[in-house]
Amino acid sequence: METDSLMIIAVASIFITNFVFSRFLGICPYIGVSKSLDSAIGMGLAVIFVMTLASMATWLINAFMLQPSTKNLFYIIFSLEEPPDLLYLKTIAFILVIASLVQFVEMVIQKTSPTLYQSLGIYLPLITTNCAILGVALLNIDSNYNFIQSVFHGLTAGIGFTLALILMAGIREQLDLSPIPKALRGIPIAFIMAGLMAIAFLGFSGLKL
Amino acid sequence: MSPFKEFIKGFYEQNPVFRLALGLCPTLAVSNSIENAIGMGLAATFVLVCSNVIVSLIRKGVPAKIRIPIYIVVIATFVTVVDLSMAAFRPTLHKSLGIFVPLIVVNCIILGRAEAFAGKNNLFRSFIDGLGMGLGFTFALIILGFVRELLGDGKLMGYPIMGPKFEPVLIFILPPGAFLTLGLLLGLFNWLDTKLKKE
């Protein structure tokens, strides 16, 4: 369905329906990592990478293994009478693919850049439970995107998430130096900040594409 | 810890949302009305209890290295059950919760409790823990939903409470309102905690 051009997908994912400020996806790591700019950038890049790969892998699995179409691999390989409808396995299949991908990315980063691996620490395995990754995979299917659109959506959604993360980290570094009421220190003020930024991003919803 | 304490800790002392900062994504997304909050809370509680029970039953036989993927498969199975059941029996709720129903599988609360508790405790305690944490999560969602629906829509459970003269503060049911309300409530709970500790 070519209803959304790539440009529209990009602007929509980064600004209009930003994954953090509008869709509420990827909040947990957002709160945990956005304390320093460096780890925010590192986490953001890892998320972009995983999101793009995950979009690719999950789209392929959905198209060739889960959908009851004549291209279904099980239908072809086992010469079944009719294409099997395995859509109910979507959640399980997707999350397992994502978990394996993250494991793989973690190994690659460990080998190629030990310093980056050190700084990301616990956050890498946490990307698995990042709702944004599974979220973008499910959204691709729900929006009936083709392969190119799905991959692009994954890429730009990751960019939007990284944007939110970097904005937040920059502000939080300053926030730590400010006199904040004791009860609001840490996570509460981070959320209030996110709320104010979400209001700003709400301004984009008037964009007519 | 006595079973009763085990159960009650999920409501205040170790409330997943207000104290442990877990499960925040669905909290923000579905708290725009109390009905959505209850629906999501009960669905998540169901998955949490069932997966805690299964994980506790298999905990002795699971090799430590691959336990996380196994827990994920268990959780994903129950999420699929909830997803399909909700789509069949409560289609309107299913539609308003949207992708957050399958996203229960990555709700940090469920994997977190499986790893931190059910993998190390017996069946009964794991069941109680799951029930307590799940209902505590539901409780948090309802509080958030109460504030947001009342101020942002003038209604509670769909019933107009504030009367026709009330101008709903629209922002509360929009995304920014979720962040602001949660931030303020978290601050409130922190303040409450320091007050109680002083006594």
- What is the DSSP track for B71-108? HHHHHHHHHHHHHHHHHHH-HHHHHHHGGGTGGGGG-H
d(CA B28, CA B181): 9
The residue with tokens 């602001």 is B180
**Res A122 pLDDT > 70:** no
Whole-number CA gyration radius for chain A: 19
- Chain A positions touching B15 (Cβ under 8 A) are none
Q: Is B57 on the interface with A (CB under 8 A)?
A: no
With beta carbons less than 8 A apart as the criterion, state whether B10 and B135 touch.
yes
Collect all residues of chain B within an 8 Å Cβ-Cβ radius of residue A96.
69, 72-73, 76
d(CA A136, CA A151): 10
Distance from CA of B163 to the nearest CA of A (A): 27
From residue A127, give the alpha-carbon distance in Å to each of A32, A104, B168. 12, 12, 38
List, as one string, the DSSP characters of chain A.
-TTS-HHHHHHIIIIIT-TTTTT--SHHHHHHHTTSHHHHHHHHHHHHHHHHHHHHHHHHHIIIIIS-STT-HHHHHTT-SS----GGGHHHHHHHHHHHHHHHHHHHHHHH-HHHHHHHTTHHHHGGG-HHHHHHHHHHHHTT--HHHHHHHHHHHHHHHHHHHHHHHHHHHHHTTS---GGGTTHHHHHHHHHHHHHHHHGGGG---
Report pLDDT for A37: 81
User: Cβ contacts (< 8 Å) between B25 and chain A: which residues?
Assistant: 24-28, 131
Query: Average pLDDT over chain A, rounded to whole?
Result: 83
Domain count, chain B: 1
Predicted confidence at residue B88, as pLDDT, reads 93
pLDDT for position B91:
92
The answer to whether A128 faces chain B, any CB pair under 8 Å, is yes
- B85: nearest CA partner in chain A: A88
Q: Answer whether B82 touches A (CB < 8 Å).
A: no
Q: Where are the beta strands (DSSP E) in B27-180?
A: 155-156, 159-160
Q: ipTM of the assembly? A: 0.82
Q: Which domain holds residue B57?
A: 3-198
Q: Which of B29, B111, B187 is facing A24, going by the closest CB pair?
A: B29
Decide which of A119 and A69 is more confident. A69
pLDDT score at A1: 41
Q: Is B73 on the interface with A (CB under 8 A)?
A: yes
- With beta carbons less than 8 A apart as the criterion, state whether B141 and B40 touch: yes
Test B182 with A191 for CB contact under 8 angstroms. yes
pLDDT at A128 over 80: no
Residue A3 is predicted with a pLDDT of 55
Among the listed ranges A23-37, A91-105, B16-30, B166-180, which one has the minimum average pLDDT value? Answer: A23-37
Residue (of B4, B7, B87) closest to B43 by Cα position = B87
Would you say residue A153 has pLDDT above 50? yes
pLDDT one-digit tens code per residue, B69-117: 888 899 999 999 999 999 999 999 999 888 889 988 888 888 888 888 8
Mean pLDDT over A161-170 rounds to 89
Does B184 contact A192 at a Cβ distance shorter than 8 Å?
yes
Better-scored residue on pLDDT, B143 or A186: B143
CA angle B199, B21, B1 (to 5 degrees): 55
Paired residues of A124 in beta bridges = none
The radius of gyration of chain B from alpha carbons, rounded to an integer in Å, stands at 18
| Confidence (pTM) | 0.85
Q: Which two tokens stand for residue A72?
A: 């279904």
Q: What angle do CA A69, A72, A73 make, to 5 degrees?
A: 170
- Taking chain B (199 residues) in runs of 10, the rounded mean pLDDT of each run is 78 80 83 89 93 90 82 92 93 90 87 83 87 91 89 78 77 86 88 81
Task: Locate B14 and state its tokens.
Answer: 């170790």
